[in-house]
A = this chain, B = another copy of it.
Amino acid sequence: MKTLRLNSSDRTVLLGSRFFEKLSAAASNAVLEGAVVTNHEEHDVLFHQDETVDSVFCVLSGLVRLYRLGKDGREADIAVFPKGELFGESAMFLGNRATASARAIGSSTIARLDSRNLRSLAETHPDIAQALMELLCRHGQMAEDCLAEDRLLTAPQRVANYILGHCPDGSTTFSFRLPFQKNVLAGKLGLAPEALSRAFSALRRSGVTVKGRMIEIHDRNALERF
């Protein structure tokens, strides 16, 4: 794992993330002070659950998933982060301990923002503190959304919801390409890959067809009624 400085395209990706969108250039530059970039191979672990972490991370390219490990070696995905997303920020306020492990999906480039710098800035910059609180809330809501879906919905319903979340408003027919392999989507939805596959099959009669990563929706209304 090589450590490099941010280059200008790294900065562009970072500054394009939602975290920075309301921050001034000066505040953003202060946050990025001392940030470094690391490159990871597929399956590399960035940090383990309960490990001390002194950075907040951002995906510059690739994908990262957070997961918890069961005693039997199984992994339960907690979240998946695409390019432009920050993660690992809650450790700053939980004794610098990671709440989950993080692993790269495919080759990934990750920015690491210094936690100490960020906390210090948050103390003197209300706008930075605000951006952090919003980030914490979005991530908290994501976990709640997963929990509620797991507890309330069947596999096909979860997949239908996922698809509808990618459907632009107003469209009855639509197609999109999954940004990752299906086994990643399965993990995100709390399913075994076989169950995901069966859920897509079940959705065929509600107008969903699948070819490789391409998902086509022929009747949004049928999907909403699923």
Within 8 A of B (CB), among A109-155: 122-124, 126, 129-130, 132-134, 136-141, 143-144, 146-148, 150-153
Q: Which residues of B have CB within 8 Å of A68?
A: 144, 148, 151-152
The one of B129, B134, B151, B153 that contacts A190, using a Cβ cutoff of 8 Å: B151
> A141: which of B94, B130, B141, B190 is its contact (CB, 8 Å)?
B94
Question: A90 on the interface (CB 8 Å rule)?
Answer: yes
Report the bound CA distance from A134 to B152 in whole Å: 29
**Structural contact, A138 and B76, CB atoms closer than 8 A:** no
| Cβ of A128 to closest chain B Cβ, rounded Å | 10
CA–CA, A90 and B146, complex, Å: 17
How many chain A residues touch the partner (CB < 8 A)?
A: 37
- Among candidates B78, B94, B124, B130, residue contacting A137 with C-beta atoms closer than 8 Å: B94
A70 interface residue per 8 A CB criterion: yes
Within 8 A of B (CB), among A149-192: 150-153, 190
* A137 touching B90 in the complex, CB below 8 Å, given contacts A126-B124, A144-B100, A153-B70: yes
Q: Chain B residues near A144: list those with CB within 8 A.
A: 68, 78, 99-100, 143
Given known pairs A126-B123, A143-B143, A143-B144, the reply for A93 and B150 (CB within 8 Å) is no
In the complex, what distance in Å separates the CA atom of A148 from the CA atom of B68? 6
Shortest Cβ distance from A49 into chain B, in angstroms? Answer: 9
Hey, which chain B residues are within 8 Å of A129, CB to CB?
122-123, 126, 129, 133
A-B contact list, 6 entries, CB within 8 Å: A68-B144, A70-B152, A70-B153, A77-B151, A78-B144, A100-B148
State the 7 A-B residue pairs at the shortest beta-carbon distance, nearest first.
A76-B151, A143-B143, A68-B148, A140-B140, A70-B152, A123-B126, A136-B136
